Structure formats: structure tokens, C-alpha cells
Amino acid sequence: MSRIGKQPIDIPAGVTITVGESEITVAGPKGQLIVPVQPMTTTVVEGNVATVTRKDDEPKSRAWHGLQRALLANAVEGVTKGFEKKLEINGVGFRLSGGGQEIEMALGFSHPVKYKAPEGVTLTTNKMEITVSGIDKQKVGQVAAEIRSLKKPEPYKGKGIKYVDEVIIRKAGKAGKK
């Protein structure tokens, strides 16, 4: 049995899970998320615990089992606490402004770079730090990756946009002639 899939999901107070034919709706204090029902899995909600089971022991069923449980657990966590990722901008002359749904950055290009976040994701700026937050874990991660890809950190001076907890392995510069 899947180590992830067999774990029950605790449903906190204020969260309701509605299992439908093709989708599972998770509603909570921060909002509502819809999780698609994966084939070959069954989700049962009893009291304040949700469990995901699979119909057979085929390899595909085992894979869907863990995925369905992980997606459902992320939805429950998202509607209660939410998710956030922090990015940091390093570099001389780099600037950051804006917030809410849209930010503007000066990243050493000939023009300022504007980024507009999709619905359900909020961007917060604090000096040279961007906080991406929302209830959908996939959207938050995707937005953070897209912002990082605008100017990836380079290994010589460490200039660029990086995750706060990311470690940039630095390279030595040119060794001068002797």
C-alpha cells in the first residue's frame, strides 16, 4: 500500500469536503479549491477524517493513490493556512516596486520588467524581497518559478532572483596572469 496514500487526512474545524463524481470541493476560511478525482481512487469523508483508497493493486492505481491523497491534503492545508514562497533580489542597481497583483522590477535590462500574477495569488514586496502567497500550492510555486526565471542567479557574483532558502554555489573568477 502507498505510504503516502494510506495516511488519513485530518479535517480541521471550519473546513468542508464535498466529494462529487469528477471533483472534490474543499472549502475553508481562506477560500475554496477544487481537486479533480483521479481514476481508480475513492475518497471517503467520515467525521473529521478523509481517507483515500484505491480500487486495485495495479502500478497505475498505486501511483494515482498517493497523488490523490497529496492533492487533497494540499487543498485542505491551503484553505486553512495558505502557502507562501519568498524570493530575494540581489544585484547592484536592481529595484523592486509594486505589490498586490502586479510588480515592476529593474533587473539590469534596458527596460523595467513587469509581472502580473494570476487570480488567487498575491505578491507582496518588502525592500528587495518578494513574497508570493495564495491558497493553491501549485499556482504559488508556478508564479515563484516564473518570477525567478526572469533573472536567474548567476554563479560568479550571485546577482539575480533566488529563493530565500536557496544556496548559490559560487565559482571563482578569472585567475590573473602571473
Q: Is the pLDDT of residue 2 over 80?
A: no
Look at residue 24 and give its three-state secondary structure. strand
Candidate CATH numbers 3.40.50.2300, 3.10.129.10, 3.90.930.12, 3.40.50.970; the one for domain 9-80: 3.90.930.12
pLDDT for residue 173: 84
* Residues of the chain by 3-state class (helix, strand, coil), percent to 5: 20, 40, 40
- Greater confidence (132 vs 1) lies with 132
pTM of the model: 0.89
Whether the per-residue pLDDT at 61 is higher than 60: the answer is yes
In the chain, domain spans: 9-80, 83-163
Architecture of domain 83-163: Alpha-Beta Complex (3.90)
